[in-house]
Structure 1
Amino acid sequence: MAGSDFRPVYHPAGHDNDLRVAVQDLRTGRWLAMAHLLDRTDGWGLWTQRTQVLAAVAAGSDVVQAWRSEEPRSVAASVMHTRVLVERAVRAHRARHPRTRELWQEAWAACRDTAEMSPADPVPWVCLLALALLDEHRSMDEHRQAPPALMLPRGPWGILAQVDKRDPHNREAYHRMLQFVCAGTPGPLTEAANFVHWASGSAPAESAVHLLPLYLSVERYRRERGQEKALDLHWVAEDAVRDAGHALDTWFRYSDLRRASQLDLNHLAHALWGAHRFGEAAQVFDAIDRYWTTLPWAYRTRDPADQELAMEVFLRARARSLAARD
């Protein structure tokens, strides 16, 4: 797939073939494949990842509600119901919809109910972290708790601790926390940098938490509006090169790439390419195969909303990296 006719595709399921089948079923208004998939999903990390993808697809329909009506005692259906309510509330907040507060309250109550129904599940608590972003003024006590270490800001640390108790270093939970910290920092992202350093400091080798610095680097670049600078010094700075290498040598070398987030793989390939570590970037492009994501490539263009421009950057980076390796 190194030829000029190679064209990547986007799919929320990535390499997860079973999830892809369930997503297709959802899009046609059916829930049975989703129910069967979740019934045989092992491990909280994969459970979190799959429910997040399914909720993003199901949020615009009543498929999950139909499932709950058919199987009112299904815990998985209740978890998905909560996921969908949270997804709708987050979207409403993003669009500044007048019903945002109502949807937020409904989703918050569902999180608490599902947490009681399924006490070992980290997802209701991950969902509460997602909803914390809606509290822009940090008016809720649970969103301004004292941090577990110096140099960290106040925030929903109790909620994060509940996730960690159930699934230590849960990928989505730490991303939600990073988003919360970044949202409260209009200027330099010093507190966010302290957070990712603290988070990755205790994460095991295979944890996707080690990629958080790469996301933070992209957020810095986005805020600086450093678009279309293919050789921008931002990406070859000592910290950026070190963070890319660290993510490669810890997460990429040790994790099960069949279950890896496509966003994580694309961020790592982007970071290694930007750091001029082309041969190593080629290894990550091999793992990506044809399942690309628009971000972070879109931020290296003159118009981040133009997917074709983002694909051009992705293909250019891929071709350069494969050529260096071959």
Structure 2
Amino acid sequence: MAGGDFRPVYHPAGHDNELRVAVQDLRTGRWLSMAHLLGRTDGWGLWTQRTQVLAAVAAGSDVVQAWRAEEPHSVAASVMHTRVVVERAVRAHRARHPRTHELWQEAWAACRDAAELSPADPVPWVCLLALALLDEHRSMDEHRLPPPGLMLPPGPWGMLAQADKRDPHNREAYHRMLQFVCAGTPGPLTGAANFVHWAAGSAPPGSAVHVLPLYLSIERYRRERGQEKALDLHWVAEDAVRDAGHALDTWFRYADLRRASPLDLNHLAHALWGANRFGEAARVFDAIDRYWTTLPWAYRTRDPADQELAAEVFLRARSRSLAGRD
């Protein structure tokens, strides 16, 4: 696998074989595999992860609407409807679409309905956290609540607490919160740094929350527009090396890698490679296998929109790390 014939593959499902089948069926307009998959999904963490991936695929079609029409009393179909309308609202906001406010209102109502229909499910609250990003001026009271700790910024802490109560340290909930904090910080990301270290400080071994500091490091790098520097000190700075080691020791060593987010694995491999910890990075590349993600590798290129350039960086990092294996 280390030879020149190795080719990385991008797929949103990563190593989740069952999810890959459901995604393939979704792309052809069929919902039955999705319904069966969600019906046998155990654990809120995996439920959150799978519904997020499925919604990103389904948002461009009416396949979930067809499922709801066929099974109007299905709780899973209602949750997926919520996921889809939230995804559409977020995309509309990103594209500055004129219907953004209308879609936002529809998505907000769907979240509230899903929270009532499935009160133990963290996903409606995760979705509300995703919609909080659309409130750019922080005009809603729910989005500027006082924080639970010192040095943390105001924000949608009530929504995070509701998700946390249902699935402690839910990966997507904490990522949505980080996105909210970063979006409200045009300058130095001090509040975001305080948040990720506060979050990781209480997370148990094996929790993906321990990977959050690596995402913040990428965001800092992106804002500094540091691309393809011959000697990039960002990744060998003391805090970057420490955060990479922390994620390795507290997440990777304990996590069920078959269910790990491909993004988390790629961020950890990237951080260890950047910190010149090649032998440890090689172990993470082994776990990634062929299922790479364009981020964070794209930010190490001259054109982050060019997937081929990102793949070249991934392959270069992988080759160097495997060569440095202990």
TM-score relative to the length of structure 1: 0.99
Runs of 4+ in structure 1 off by over 6 angstroms are none
Output the CA distance in 2 between the equivalents of 1:302 and 1:184. 27
Give deviations 1:202-257, integer Å, cap 9, x for gaps.
00011000000000000000000000125410000000000000100110000100
On the 8 A contact 1:230/1:300 being kept in 2, the answer is: no
Paired residues in the alignment total: 326
Deviation at 1:3, TM superposition (A): 0.5
Deviation at 1:145, TM superposition (A): 0.3
Output the CA distance in 2 between the equivalents of 1:3 and 1:78. 46
Give deviations 1:67-119, integer Å, cap 9, x for gaps.
00000000000000000000000000000000000000000000000000000
Secondary structure of 1:305's partner? coil
Give deviations 1:170-212, integer Å, cap 9, x for gaps.
0000000000000000000000000001000000011000000
Counterpart for residue 74 of structure 1: 74
Give deviations 1:304-324, integer Å, cap 9, x for gaps.
000000000000000000011
On the 8 A contact 1:146/1:153 being kept in 2, the answer is: yes
1:85/1:230 Cα in 2 relative to 1: closer, same or farther (>3 Å)?
farther
Give deviations 1:39-75, integer Å, cap 9, x for gaps.
0000000000000000000000000000000000000
Counterpart for residue 290 of structure 2: 290
Which structure 1 segments of 5+ residues have no match? none
Secondary structure of 2:153's partner? coil
On the 8 A contact 1:38/1:47 being kept in 2, the answer is: yes
Secondary structure of 1:257's partner? coil
Secondary structure of 1:210's partner? helix
Counterpart for residue 43 of structure 2: 43
On the 8 A contact 1:231/1:274 being kept in 2, the answer is: no
Q: Decide which moves more: 197-206 or 228-237.
A: 228-237
Output the CA distance in 1 between the equivalents of 2:237 and 2:166. 37
Give deviations 1:119-169, integer Å, cap 9, x for gaps.
000000000000000000000110000000011110000000000100000
Secondary structure of 2:253's partner? helix
Trace 1:27-176 onto structure 2 (pairs within 5 A): 27-176=27-176
Trace 1:198-217 onto structure 2 (pairs within 5 A): 198-217=198-217
Output the CA distance in 1 between the equivalents of 2:193 and 2:250. 19
Secondary structure of 2:151's partner? coil
Give deviations 1:268-319, integer Å, cap 9, x for gaps.
0000000000000000000000000000000000000000000000000000
Percent of residue pairs identical:
91
RMSD of the TM alignment (CA)? 0.6
Output the CA distance in 2 between the equivalents of 1:37 and 1:189. 39
Output the CA distance in 2 between the equivalents of 1:70 and 1:99. 28
Output the CA distance in 2 between the equivalents of 1:152 and 1:110. 30
Deviation at 1:5, TM superposition (A): 1.2
Output the CA distance in 2 between the equivalents of 1:162 and 1:22. 29
1:314/1:230 Cα in 2 relative to 1: closer, same or farther (>3 Å)?
farther
Output the CA distance in 1 between the equivalents of 2:159 and 2:175. 13
Output the CA distance in 2 between the equivalents of 1:291 and 1:84. 25
Counterpart for residue 259 of structure 1: 259
Which structure 2 segments of 5+ residues have no match? none
Output the CA distance in 2 between the equivalents of 1:199 and 1:180. 14
